[in-house]
Every structure is written in C-alpha cells, then in structure tokens.
Amino acid sequence: MKIALLSPIAWRTPPRNYGPWELVVSLLAEGLVQQGLEVTLFATGDSITGARLESVCPLPYEENPDMDPKVWEALHIAHLFEQADKYDIIHNNYDFLPLVFSRLVKTPMVTTIHGFSSPQIIPVYREYNQNNYYVSISNADRSEELKYAKTIYHGIDLKQFEFVDQAGEYLLYFGRIHQDKGTAEAIEIALKSGIKLIMAGIIQDREYFNQQVAPYIDGKNIVYYGVADPIQRNQLMGGALALLHPIHFHEPFGLSVIEAMACGTPVIAFNKGSMPEVIDEGKSGWLVNSVEEACQLIPLIPGLSRQYCRQWVEQKFSRERMIDEYIQLYQEILSQRRFSTS
C-alpha cells in the first residue's frame, strides 16, 4: 500500500516545539513505516522522517516571516496532487484547501479534520463530502452537516513520556497563550488556591498576554516558562501536581491533556468539546464549569492514582492504536473501491 501523507508547513514535521498537527502527522508517518507501508511524507524540507520526504517548501513559514503562507501552501498542495496517481491513498492533514483538488484525481483521499477554525469553512467540507473520507478526532468535534467515515482519537508515543509516580507541588498550564485556552483562568485558579503555577506555551495573542497574563507573572507564584521543547515538556508535566485546562472553546481533542496523563499527572479541565471523551471523570481528572469548581477539587488531587492516569492513556490513546485504526480505514476504502469497480 502506497500512502501520501500531506502535512502542514506552518512548522517542521515533527515540530521543534509547538505544532500539534505536524506532531500527529509525524507519529502517523513513522508508525505506518514501521508497519511496512510505503509512505511518502509531503512536508517542509527540514522535516525528519523515516518515510520518503517530498517538499517544495524548504522551511516552516511560521519560523520565516519573509515567506508568504498562501504562496507556499499553494505550491505544497499542488506538488502532491500533480503526482497523485503514484499513490493508493492520499491522507490529507491540511484542513480544507486540498479538498478542492480531490475531484481532479482518481486516488481516494482521507481527510483528518483537526478542528474547525470557523463555521465559514464548513461549505467546502460539505461540497466535497461525497468524494472524500472524513475522520473526526473526537465525537464532540463532528459537524451535523457532514458524513464521517470514522472517529480516530490521536495517539502519542508513550516511550517519549516518562511516568512520574510522585506528585509535584505546582500546577501547570501548557498550551498557547490565548483567551480560548483560558490562560487567565488558570492564573485565577492558582492564586485562589495558593499554589504555584507554571505556564508554558507560545504567545499567540500578544495583547491578551500583556493585559491579562503578564501583570500577574512574578517569577515565584506565577511563572511563565516560555516555549518548552519535548524534553522540557516532559519534565514540566511529570513534575506537576495537576494540569489546568480551563478552555473557552470547543476543544477538538487536546494533546496536552493526554500527554500530562501519560506522565501520571491528572487534569482539571472545563467541560467543553472533547474533554468528556479524553478525561476519565473522577479517575484521571475532573471536568468543571468554573474557576470556583476547579479550586474546590484541587485538594482532592492527591487522592487520584497517577498510575491509573498512565494506564488510561495506554489503553485509549497509544500511537499503536491510532496507527492500527488508520490502516484498517485505508484497507476498507481500497476494498470498497475494488468491489465497486469489479
């Protein structure tokens, strides 16, 4: 089976630090190669992979302000579709833009929908629904207007996350600094609970950071760590008492949530989007609806089993499980198409 994996080019695949879509594509590419599939990864030229790498964009555009994202997106996507007949399956991880090419080629295309940036992009997904196979990353992140082939949860490489049995003494916020992610609420929870908070992530909204985050950073009780690389991420997650995820948007999945639990760290999250699917309520963390509810539950964190948090991720969110489900979907699609043309 020959698979063409289309990765975003905002960041390297795998990302140096931030880049959740690119991270998932990297895990998928390496896992498929290990399973013996012939995989071509379409990504930035500096990407690292055991698959065959195809690129026209030399570097990630988010790291190079002189690059015009639209120009390189167009070149990147066209580069794959101009050679689509070489592959049995195209697996699109680049949002809605590649869909408009899908009727121009005979190769079937799987599109993993990593979330909807806006309801305004739904018409494109709706228009190309009949000749595409859509995968949702949680049941919560499905549009009623679309037909899906399957829900496949993200998986992580558990070997990259060290389990820490002993709980730390600080709370952790890990994610982009943005109102959607609830950075200010994480600070409020920490201050009301009297527990140190460490925050790590890219500053996506500078005005929000300056007005609602920076005034509280004192380097002692409220600490901004900056952007953490994979090694630093594991140290921060494993050493935390709990991860705070007080989101204000419909979270499609939440990689940081399962990464923290893989290190043994429970999660307190606002009950939105995929959180009820990702967190085992009362066992690997809690779902709350307010800052006050979060504060009430923090004293109960030591009663949760960190070993169970790890086991929950091993059972539900391993890379191996994700790979197996995608291979099964590829096989089903190819089998259906062979049957329909015979």
pLDDT in tens, 51-101: 999 999 999 999 999 999 999 999 999 999 999 999 999 999 999 999 999
Q: How far apart are the first and last CA of the chain?
A: 19
pLDDT in tens, 189-245: 999 999 999 999 999 999 999 999 999 999 999 999 999 998 999 999 999 999 999
- Fold matches, 2-155+318-341 and 158-316: yes
Higher pLDDT, 14 or 337: 14
Domain 158-316 homologous superfamily, CATH: Glycogen Phosphorylase B; (3.40.50.2000)
Flag whether pLDDT at 183 surpasses 70. yes
Domain 2-155+318-341 homologous superfamily, CATH: Glycogen Phosphorylase B; (3.40.50.2000)
Q: Token pair for residue 63?
A: 């790291």
Q: Note the pTM of the prediction, 2 decimals.
A: 0.94
Kindly report each contact of residues 101-110 with a partner whose C-beta sits within 8 Å and lies 24 or more positions away, as own/partner: 101/77, 102/128, 102/131, 102/132, 103/128, 103/131, 105/81, 107/4, 108/133, 108/333, 108/334, 108/337, 109/133, 110/135, 110/149, 110/326, 110/329, 110/330, 110/333
Domain ranges of the chain: 2-155+318-341, 158-316
